Structure 1
């Protein structure tokens, strides 16, 4: 194998055990997931930066914590794609072409609406991760599936916190 072949993105088969189809499908799923993760990261930071109101401190800190957790997923997703012989994102434009989480460029968003929107986005992200997990299961890619299981749990936790913070409390039923 020549340096030109490796530079073109072709890896010797001895570096991975997944089929070409698995590399193609799991790699494409990871690229789209990574675009969604970057989109939700930036939206979470946007809302963190523009938070206001009587619960400013609590919400500001919550979103900062959540954005750190989301950003921590980016490098492992990209590196996993590369480990299996796939490519990954190259630019903000690439993110924009693949993302399924919508941006919010509004000048003002009510704090409760911010939390509700992020809750819904995290639900969508969980669903997307489950779809990637299904693709991994189809090709017996247990390493990628294992990473996803932890991220699904983290995303469900973020969703739960956002849900609890975004609705008016009611009497507890025990």
Structure 2
């Protein structure tokens, strides 16, 4: 049994976190890294979705405003589960907004005005990108026999695909079947 390690504030470095797991250290490191990118993207996508929720305008304002509020809440709800999964396997997770900005692959949108259809299309593409990242993390989890992480990702992939579908349908023009 490991002796507890005390934090020495003079060193300004916390001791390594020790969480019992049967996964290899290599597996923990690679799964944690992949999940932390998903976590950073989830926070970035949450804030972008809220940004668009706050700033959407036009003839479908109410529908889009409610859709984006619902989607942002669903995205935010995933963050705790993702971070806790990383901790359960013995990894470390995000610690700050700065850490998020270093890992996120989702681009921010700070434009003063974005047309509603463009907002929906941008979020649709961002959700598709998150699904791709989740599938890649699923492959890593499978490689290291981490079925719990893979299972969690399967549910989140389904949720992100549903958001993508809703955004696609809401952003189509009448009679438009373009992707």
2:59 is paired with a residue of what secondary structure?
A: coil
- Quote how far apart the aligned CAs of 1:2 are: 2.6
Per the alignment, residue 5 of structure 2 pairs with 4
Say yes or no: does 1:115 pair with 2:116. Answer: no
| Structure 1: distance between partners of 2:65 and 2:30 | 38
Q: Cα deviations across residues 87-108 of structure 1 (Å, max 9, x unaligned)? A: 0000000000000000000000
C-alpha deviation, 1:4, in angstroms: 1.6
Match of 1:161 in 2: 166
- CA displacement at 1:171 relative to structure 2: 7.8
Paired residues for 1:77-96 under 5 Å: 77-96=82-101
Cα offsets for 1:123-172 (capped at 9, x unmatched)? 00000000000000100100000000000000000000000011112189
CA distance in 2, matches of 1:171, 1:96: 36
Within-5 A mapping of 1:91-170: 91-170=96-175
Structure 1 residue 48 corresponds to structure 2 residue 53: yes
Q: How many residue pairs were aligned? A: 170
User: What root-mean-square deviation, in Å, do the aligned CA atoms of Structure 1 and Structure 2 show?
Assistant: 1.5
Change in 2 beyond 3 A, CA 1:88/1:171: closer
Structure 1 gaps, min length 5: none
Offset at residue 71 of structure 1 (A): 0.3
TM-score, structure 1 normalization: 0.94
Structure number with higher helix proportion: 1
On the 8 A contact 2:131/2:160 being kept in 1, the answer is: yes
CA deviation after TM superposition for structure 1 residue 5, in Å: 6.7
Distance 1:80 1:154 in 2: 18
C-alpha separation between the residues in 2 aligned to 1:111 and 1:157?
19
Query: What SS is found at the alignment partner of 1:68?
Result: helix
Other-structure match for 1:63: 68
Mapped partners of 1:123, 1:21: distance in 2? 28
* Gap runs ≥5 in structure 2: 8-13
